[in-house]
A and B are shown apart, each in its own frame.
Chain A
Amino acid sequence: MICFSNFFNFTKNFLIIVVFSIFSYPAFADINNGDTAWVLTSTALVLFMTLPGLALFYAGLVNSKNVVSVLMQHFALACMVSVIWVILGYSLAFSEGNEWIGGFSNIFMNAIDVNSPSGSIPESLFATFQMTFAIITPALMIGAFVERIKFSAMLIFLSMWLLVVYVPVTHWVWGGGILSSWGTMDFAGGIVVHATAGTAALVTALTLGKRRGFPKSITPPHSPILTMIGASMLWIGWFGFNAGSALGANGGAGMAMLVTHISAATASLVWMFIEWRRFGKPSLIGIVTGMVAGLATVTPASGYIGVPGGLVLGFFGGLFCYLAVDYIRGKLQIDDSLDVFAVHGVGGILGTLLVAFLATSTFSGLGLAEGQTAVSQFFVQLKAVVLTVAWTSIFTYLILKITSFIVPLRVDEQEEIEGLDLRSHGEKGYHSD
């Protein structure tokens, strides 16, 4: 999100502005058509990641009696976050405030009109682009509590979570808050999206408790097909997520797209080969999980690194996330049901830390800020991660406790056995006739 201001681009834009000014075209003078077109496209791509990408990805991984509930959770959440974002979220994240939180000056987006600019794109577009990030972040957490959460509890919990965790952290990093003043590098949301969602997922899984019968009698993913379709949509959408975060149609966006793709492909292969060697068979669920790991890992670094960085992040993203899945769900037996922390949390944090080294010219990166060395930048990144993980853990836990005073967090045992589809939503995913 922190744009590398390209001097030539700037000069070019400046000249365009001057030329247009002469022909008295003042209202849209600083809006660049190319940039605007790309971010419009990216915004659609990032929404596509949640609806239906992530929804299908997760839906395929659960039991067939809970498939509707997972899809419903994504859809309802996307709608709810959109409304909260417009009313309050955007203002608190991106308008003038203090180091920790923005202000109320843009409540109901009242300061945005059709001509307001944000950099070289309209602010209405920037706010919508950011809205799609605000939608997918809590949606990622759905993977931690599937097959047992009460629908009303989810809505209450995630509404509060958006305002108390997502919005402040976004302000810290991209809204001119504390992490940006430290010089933290987070191009497209390793901290803002993946570290917050991953950490919160782990806390939620621990607070909510395991699914009935975990781990002994949990049923396998009911449709690897849906999961593969959803994963592929995530991959495509991620081009909007990372390359769109350049907020312009330029070389930075192109390079971000390239390294994003390379990291996803590399991590997929790493995951596939590990499983192939360990279990004798390369699995579809495995390779697509590796893909998500590679994408989450490259996200914070995508605008700062070159191709070698993409390969390195893909390799380590695939490896570390694989080990994390094994450790958290296998050894510790924490029912973070669809491995949100192991894949998104670990991947996002790993990429956030490694970017300090991979952004240097040694790895054909685009370079660090002046005066920073790889080591000093690493400690900036580490401090940012520690603050974010601590804040997220504490407030996620408190919000869950507050929610549990309003409604029970889990469905009752009978409903969990019969499935959330029929009992919570009155619908079935599959009919036999």
Chain B
Amino acid sequence: MKYFIAIIKPFKLDDVRNALTEIGVEGLTASEVRGFGRQRGQTEIYRGAEYSVSFVPKLKIEIAVPDEMQEAVHEALLQSASTGQIGDGKIFVLDLHSATRIRTGETENNAL
């Protein structure tokens, strides 16, 4: 099993969700996060004073999928989260050791 962590632009969440459900992903977790990468931060101006905001708001989505879906999920994320502009985010993939559905006790691929 694979565990995806993707950092995306907040307004891309619906596109990403649609793309993932289309290829059969049955759940994801999204959280509001702040961070910086090559985009650094952004500048806001209030009453003539510049404020550099060094942590930019992003969304972090997490998805657990069976091994065979890795390529498809990767491709769907890449397509749906991209604007081509700086600050589009990143995709990380981790090996997942175990998964359990709490209600039924089902494990591994059955729990995903």
Q: List A residues at the B interface (Cβ < 8 Å).
A: 215, 218-221, 275, 278-279, 281, 283, 285-286, 289, 322, 325-326, 329-330, 339
Query: Which residue on chain B has the smallest CB distance to residue A432?
Result: B32
* B interface residues, how many (CB within 8 angstroms): 8
- How many Å from the CB of A429 to the closest CB on chain B? 18
Q: Please tell me if the beta carbons of A275 and B49 are within 8 angstroms of each other in the complex.
A: no
| Cα distance A115–B47 in the bound complex, in angstroms | 49
- Given the complex, which residues of B lie within 8 Å of A339, measured CB to CB? 47
Q: Please tell me if the beta carbons of A215 and B47 are within 8 angstroms of each other in the complex.
A: no
A-B contact pairs, 6 of them (CB 8 A): A218-B49, A275-B45, A275-B48, A285-B46, A285-B47, A330-B48
| Cα distance A330–B45 in the bound complex, in angstroms | 12
Q: Would you give the 0/1 interface string for B45-79, flagging 1 where the beta carbon is closer than 8 Å to chain A?
A: 11111010100000000000000000000000000
B44 interfacial contact with A, CB 8 Å: yes
Instruction: Name, among B44, B48, B49, B53, the residue most crowded by chain A CB atoms within 10 Å (CB to CB).
Output: B48
- How many Å from the CB of A293 to the closest CB on chain B? 11
| Cα distance A184–B37 in the bound complex, in angstroms | 60
Instruction: Name, among B45, B47, B48, the residue most crowded by chain A CB atoms within 10 Å (CB to CB).
Output: B47
| Cα distance A28–B55 in the bound complex, in angstroms | 66
Q: Please tell me if the beta carbons of A283 and B45 are within 8 angstroms of each other in the complex.
A: yes
Q: Select A325's contact among B44, B45, B47, B51, beta carbons within 8 Å.
A: B47
| Cα distance A330–B46 in the bound complex, in angstroms | 12
Q: List B residues at the A interface (Cβ < 8 Å).
A: 44-49, 51, 53
- Given the complex, which residues of A lie within 8 Å of B51, measured CB to CB? 218-220
- How many Å from the CB of A327 to the closest CB on chain B? 10
- Given the complex, which residues of B lie within 8 Å of A330, measured CB to CB? 48-49
Q: Please tell me if the beta carbons of B48 and A220 are within 8 angstroms of each other in the complex.
A: no
Q: Please tell me if the beta carbons of B48 and A221 are within 8 angstroms of each other in the complex.
A: no
Query: Which residue on chain A has the smallest CB distance to residue B53?
Result: A220
- How many Å from the CB of B61 to the closest CB on chain A? 19
- Given the complex, which residues of B lie within 8 Å of A325, measured CB to CB? 47-48
Query: Which residue on chain B has the smallest CB distance to residue A227?
Result: B46
5 more CB-based (< 8 A) A-B contacts, given A218-B49, A221-B46, A322-B48: A219-B51, A220-B53, A285-B46, A286-B46, A330-B48
Q: Please tell me if the beta carbons of A215 and B49 are within 8 angstroms of each other in the complex.
A: yes
- How many Å from the CB of A279 to the closest CB on chain B? 5
- Given the complex, which residues of A lie within 8 Å of B44, measured CB to CB? 220
- How many Å from the CB of B69 to the closest CB on chain A? 33
Q: Please tell me if the beta carbons of A279 and B45 are within 8 angstroms of each other in the complex.
A: yes
Query: Which residue on chain A has the smallest CB distance to residue B51?
Result: A220
User: Considering the complex of A and B, which 9 residue pairs feature the smallest CB-CB distances, nearest first?
Assistant: A220-B51, A285-B46, A220-B44, A279-B45, A326-B48, A220-B46, A221-B46, A325-B47, A289-B47
- How many Å from the CB of B60 to the closest CB on chain A? 16
- How many Å from the CB of A186 to the closest CB on chain B? 27
Q: Please tell me if the beta carbons of A286 and B49 are within 8 angstroms of each other in the complex.
A: no
- Given the complex, which residues of B lie within 8 Å of A275, measured CB to CB? 45, 48
- Given the complex, which residues of B lie within 8 Å of A220, measured CB to CB? 44, 46, 51, 53
- How many Å from the CB of B89 to the closest CB on chain A? 23
| Cα distance A330–B51 in the bound complex, in angstroms | 12
| Cα distance A357–B45 in the bound complex, in angstroms | 36
- Given the complex, which residues of B lie within 8 Å of A219, measured CB to CB? 51
Q: Please tell me if the beta carbons of A329 and B49 are within 8 angstroms of each other in the complex.
A: yes
Q: Please tell me if the beta carbons of B46 and A283 are within 8 angstroms of each other in the complex.
A: yes
Query: Which residue on chain B has the smallest CB distance to residue A216?
Result: B52
| Cα distance A339–B47 in the bound complex, in angstroms | 9
- Given the complex, which residues of A lie within 8 Å of B48, measured CB to CB? 275, 278, 322, 325-326, 329-330
| Cα distance A322–B48 in the bound complex, in angstroms | 9
| Cα distance A326–B46 in the bound complex, in angstroms | 11
| Cα distance A339–B48 in the bound complex, in angstroms | 12
- How many Å from the CB of B64 to the closest CB on chain A? 25
- How many Å from the CB of B59 to the closest CB on chain A? 16
Query: Which residue on chain B has the smallest CB distance to residue A280?
Result: B45
- Given the complex, which residues of B lie within 8 Å of A322, measured CB to CB? 48
Query: Which residue on chain B has the smallest CB distance to residue A281?
Result: B45
| Cα distance A220–B49 in the bound complex, in angstroms | 9
| Cα distance A57–B47 in the bound complex, in angstroms | 14
| Cα distance A286–B47 in the bound complex, in angstroms | 6
Query: Which residue on chain A has the smallest CB distance to residue B48?
Result: A326
- Given the complex, which residues of A lie within 8 Å of B49, measured CB to CB? 215, 218, 329-330
- Given the complex, which residues of A lie within 8 Å of B46, measured CB to CB? 220-221, 283, 285-286
| Cα distance A281–B42 in the bound complex, in angstroms | 15
Query: Which residue on chain A has the smallest CB distance to residue B54?
Result: A217
- How many Å from the CB of B53 to the closest CB on chain A? 7
| Cα distance A110–B49 in the bound complex, in angstroms | 51
- Given the complex, which residues of B lie within 8 Å of A281, measured CB to CB? 45
Query: Which residue on chain A has the smallest CB distance to residue B44?
Result: A220
- Given the complex, which residues of B lie within 8 Å of A289, measured CB to CB? 47
| Cα distance A5–B53 in the bound complex, in angstroms | 56
| Cα distance A330–B49 in the bound complex, in angstroms | 7
| Cα distance A326–B50 in the bound complex, in angstroms | 12
- Given the complex, which residues of A lie within 8 Å of B47, measured CB to CB? 285-286, 289, 325, 329, 339
